[in-house]
Each structure stands twice: as structure tokens, then as C-alpha cells.
């Protein structure tokens, strides 16, 4: 899972490039970019991401239309289905009677205006539904990935440094459990133990009953409550967030521990680490500057994938904890064949993946100078 190394340009012989000169040519945009490999790299990656986003819309559209199920049948009541006139009117209202390519173009045009259609279940614009569901899920998945990164990388480094000793063995068991325990089962168990039995965790939802949501700024209740200085709301939001987020962490911590451990072990064997020790650098400097820097490349890759896995994991966890997020919304829309909503969810998930991949690519460029050079 190595990044795509771009063949690097070498400075050969006695020529180190000269750089600075360049005569009196005007400083065009191209020349500015040529001097900033990182900026050029970012621009290229972002352009690719935009193209991919269009691809995502096409895939969501086609996949949704391939679903063997009649939205009319799902959207209308038992009796209405028997009436061809009502069915035809339903299909006409939602544009389902037009040819697929036309439907796609209409869909794209509407997307550009921020119109994702109207949910057949909530009878609200899908965009409105998503604007409450997406922040809820981002808060959950974001908290989980941050905790996972900190804990997983720390566990992985410790395991590698204590290779084959007791600590390593224990961490191996922990990470193995983390990746193998099914998330939904862990969610049920955690809910049962910490809420029902011990009463340590608050119940389901994002806030205690009777509490009103903080003023909308980011949609993340913890952040919004802190911004508004509503500390009881903040602590309630944190309390509700903790258990589902920790349940989601189990898998990603396991995954990141295993990858970090093997990445660090591989780097520890590199000549440049031995050379760094030969320079008499303190162990801390060798670890943080020489070892972790190189080990982070594969870890970043896996963290990106793990974030994707988190988003799909939320479908089950959100259902169990009644967390009003994207997963719960996706589940509801899919089971009721609410096509505009399903497409909206598909689009958001696709875009989140794209963003995460873009972020991973950018991080490669930041971590490893060889990736920047074309």
C-alpha cells in the first residue's frame, strides 16, 4: 500500500539546478507554480478530485436506478397502487416517466442549484435532511477517528519498540479483538452494559431529553455548545457522544495499531535510522523525526481507509444508539426506497471518500518530498 511514487528528477553531476536566475522572463502563474512543487501538486490533485466528483454523481445515479424496486410502489399506499392514474401522476411528479439520460441531466442541473430533490418520506428537501444528519455523523466519526489515531499510533509505536515482549503480546491481542469483534455486537453489548446495567452512559440520541440543541453554527453539538458557552449542553453532548464513538473506535484502533507496528518495525531496520543513531542523536529525536516521519506514510493511507470504514460502520451504530445521523437516515431511506434521499446519501458518502482521499494524497505530499516532484 505504498503511495504512488512519482519518478523524481535528479540533479546530476555538478549542476544543482542554478535555480534563482532565469533571466528577465515575466513571473507567470506557471512559473510561480513551478517554484512551489507543493502548490502545483495540490492544484493537480484538486482538479482530479473535481472530475471524480462528477463520476460520483453518475455512479450514484446509475446504481440507484438499477435497484430492482418501484419507488411508486414504496411511496404510495396499498390502494393507490391499484389506481394507474395515481401511479402515473406519482411517476410524472417525480420525473420518473422520462428517459434515464434526461433524468440524469435534470439531476445534475438541480445539483448545481443545491437541489437534491425532495424526500418521499419526510416530504422535505433532501438537502435539509442531510444538513442535520451529516454533522451528526461527522461529529461521531470525527471523534472516533481522532481518538483512534492517537491511541492506535501510540499502541503501534509502543508495540514495535517492545517487539515480542509482554506489552507487544498484549497489544497484539487487543488489536486482534478490535478488528475481529463485529461493531453492531459491540454496540449492543456496550449499550446494555454501560447504559442498562451500570447506568454510566446516558441513553440514546445526541442530547438528554428536554434539552434543546445549541444554536446552529457547525452542526456539531459539542462545538456549537462550547461556542455558545452552554456548558450543561456541552457536557450532555459529550456524554452522549462518548459511548457510540468509543464503540466505533474499536475497529480502527485495532487496524491502526497493527499497521503502525509493522510500519515502525520496517523503518527501524532502515539504514538511515542506524545512521541517525550513529550521529549520537537522542532516542527521542530518532523516534519522532526519523522513524515516525517515514512510518506515517502507510499509516496515513490506512487512516484514510479507516475513516471510510467508520462511515459505513455508523449505519449500525447509529441505529442502535438512535443517533440521528447519516447512517440512520441511509437505513431509513433505503428500506423505504426513498430514491432522492438514497441518492443524496450516496452523493455525500462519495464526496466524503473523495475528500478523505484528497486529504491523504495531500498529506503524502507534505510528509514525503519525493511525491511532490513530478
Q: How many chain residues interact with another protein (CB under 8 A)?
A: 35
Q: What is the CA radius of gyration of the chain?
A: 25
Q: Which of 109, 180, 370, 374 binds another protein (CB under 8 A)?
A: 370
The nearest distance, CB 32 to another protein, in angstroms, is 18
Nearer to another protein, 208 or 368 (CB): 368
Mask for 3-22, x = binds another protein (CB under 8 A): -----xxxxxxxxxxxxx--
Site string for another protein, 139-178 (x = CB under 8 A): ----------------------------------------
Which positions from 283 to 302 touch another protein by CB under 8 A, shown as an x/- string? --x---xx--xx--------
The least distance separating another protein from the CB of residue 281, rounded to whole angstroms, comes to 6
Q: Is 187 in the site for another protein (CB under 8 A)?
A: no
List helix spans (H) across 67-122. 71-75, 78-81, 84-93, 100-112
Please name every residue paired with 125 in a beta bridge, in sequence order, or none if there are none. 118
Answer for which of 277, 288, 335, 374 binds another protein (CB under 8 A) is 277
Q: In the complex with another protein, which residue's Cβ is closer, 92 or 293?
A: 293
Question: Taking Cα atoms as reference points, which of 252, 251, 268, 279 lies closest to residue 162?
Answer: 268
Minimum distance between the CB of residue 44 and another protein, rounded to whole angstroms? 19
The grid coordinates listed for 92 are 410524472
Q: Looking at beta carbons only, is 209 or 282 nearer to another protein?
A: 282
Task: Determine which helix (DSSP H) or strand (DSSP E) holds 254, and give its type and residue range.
Answer: helix 231-268
Of 351 and 362, CB closest to another protein: 362
- Specify the residue, 5 or 185, whose C-beta has the smaller distance to another protein: 5
Q: How far is the CB of 277 from another protein (least distance, A)?
A: 6
> Is 183:316 a contact under the CB 8 Å cutoff?
yes
- By CB atoms closer than 10 A (0-12, 13-18, 19+), residue 338 is buried
CB of 136 to another protein, least distance (A): 38
**Among residue numbers 256 through 275, which ones bind another protein (CB under 8 A)?**
270-272, 274-275
281 binds another protein (CB under 8 A): yes
Least Å distance between CB 237 and another protein?
39
Vertex 176: Cα angle to 172 and 180 (nearest 5): 175
Q: In the complex, what is the shortest distance from the CB of residue 302 to another protein, in angstroms, rounded to a whole number?
A: 18
Cell numbers representing residue 158 in the block: 509502543
Output 151 or 281, the one with its CB closest to another protein: 281
Return d(Cα 64, Cα 56) in angstroms, integer. 12
* Complex with another protein: residue 38 or 49, whichever CB lies closer: 38
Residue among 145 and 303 whose Cβ is closer to another protein: 303
For residue 4, the minimal CB distance to another protein (Å) is 15
Q: Which of 360, 366, 374, 245 is nearest to 2 (CA)?
A: 360
11 in Cβ contact with 17 (< 8 Å) = yes
Contacts for 301-306: CB closer than 8 Å, 24+ residues apart: 301/1, 301/3, 301/360, 302/1, 302/255, 302/256, 302/259, 303/145, 303/148, 303/149, 303/256, 303/360, 304/356, 304/357, 304/359, 304/360, 306/145, 306/148, 306/251, 306/252, 306/255, 306/256
Name which of 21 and 84 has its Cβ closer to another protein: 21
Site for another protein in 20-49 (CB under 8 A): 20
Query: Grid coordinates representing 83?
Result: 389506481
**Chain Cα centroid distance, residue 79:** 43
Strand partners, 118: 125
The Cα–Cα gap between 27 and 151 comes to: 47
Q: How far apart are CB 10 and another protein at their closest, in Å?
A: 6
Q: How far is the CB of 72 from another protein (least distance, A)?
A: 58
Residues that bind another protein (CB under 8 A): 8-20, 270-272, 274-282, 285, 289-290, 293-294, 367-370, 373
Amino acid at each position: 500500500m505504498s503511495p504512488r511514487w512519482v519518478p523524481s528528477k535528479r540533479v546530476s553531476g555538478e549542476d544543482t539546478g542554478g535555480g534563482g536566475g532565469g533571466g528577465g522572463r515575466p513571473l507567470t502563474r506557471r512559473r510561480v507554480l513551478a517554484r512551489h512543487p507543493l502548490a502545483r501538486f495540490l492544484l493537480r490533485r484538486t482538479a482530479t478530485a473535481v472530475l471524480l466528483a462528477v463520476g460520483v454523481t453518475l455512479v450514484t445515479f446509475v446504481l440507484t436506478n438499477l435497484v430492482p424496486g418501484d419507488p411508486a410502489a414504496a411511496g404510495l399506499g396499498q390502494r393507490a397502487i391499484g389506481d394507474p392514474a395515481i401511479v402515473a401522476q406519482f411517476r410524472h411528479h417525480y420525473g420518473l416517466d422520462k428517459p434515464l439520460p434526461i433524468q440524469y441531466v435534470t439531476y445534475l442541473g438541480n445539483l448545481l442549484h443545491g437541489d437534491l430533490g425532495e424526500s418521499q418520506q419526510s416530504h422535505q428537501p433532501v438537502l435539509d435532511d442531510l444538513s442535520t444528519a451529516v454533522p451528526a455523523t461527522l461529529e461521531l466519526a470525527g471523534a472516533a477517528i481522532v481518538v483512534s489515531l492517537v491511541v492506535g499510533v501510540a499502541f503501534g509505536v509502543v508495540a514495535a519498540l517492545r517487539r515480542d515482549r509482554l506489552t507487544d503480546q498484549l497489544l497484539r491481542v487487543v488489536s486482534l479483538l478490535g478488528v475481529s469483534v463485529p461493531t453492531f455486537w459491540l454496540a449492543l453489548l456496550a449499550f446494555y452494559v454501560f447504559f442498562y446495567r451500570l447506568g454510566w452512559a446516558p441513553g440514546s440520541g445526541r442530547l438528554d431529553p428536554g434539552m434543546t440543541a445549541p444554536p446552529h453554527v457547525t452542526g456539531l453539538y459539542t462545538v456549537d455548545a462550547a461556542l455558545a458557552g452552554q456548558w450543561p449542553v456541552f457536557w450532555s453532548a459529550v456524554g452522549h457522544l462518548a459511548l457510540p464513538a468509543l464503540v466505533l473506535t474499536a475497529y480502527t484502533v485495532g487496524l491502526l495499531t497493527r499497521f503502525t507496528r509493522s510500519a515502525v518495525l520496517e523503518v527501524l531496520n532502515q539504514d538511515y535510522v542506524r545512521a541517525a543513531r550513529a550521529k549520537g542523536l537522542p532516542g527521542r529525536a530518532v523516534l519522532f523525526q526519523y522513524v515516525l516521519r517515514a512510518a506515517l506514510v502507510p499509516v496515513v493511507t490506512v487512516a484514510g481507509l479507516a475513516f471510510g470504514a467508520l462511515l459505513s460502520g455508523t449505519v449500525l451504530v447509529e441505529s442502535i444508539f438512535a443517533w440521528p445521523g447519516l447512517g440512520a437516515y441511509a437505513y431509513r431511506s433505503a428500506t423505504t426506497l426513498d430514491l432522492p434521499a438514497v441518492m443524496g446519501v450516496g452523493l455525500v458518502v462519495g464526496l466524503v471518500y473523495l475528500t478523505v482521499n484528497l486529504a491523504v494524497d495531500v498529506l503524502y505530499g507534505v510528509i514525503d518530498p519525493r511525491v511532490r516532484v513530478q
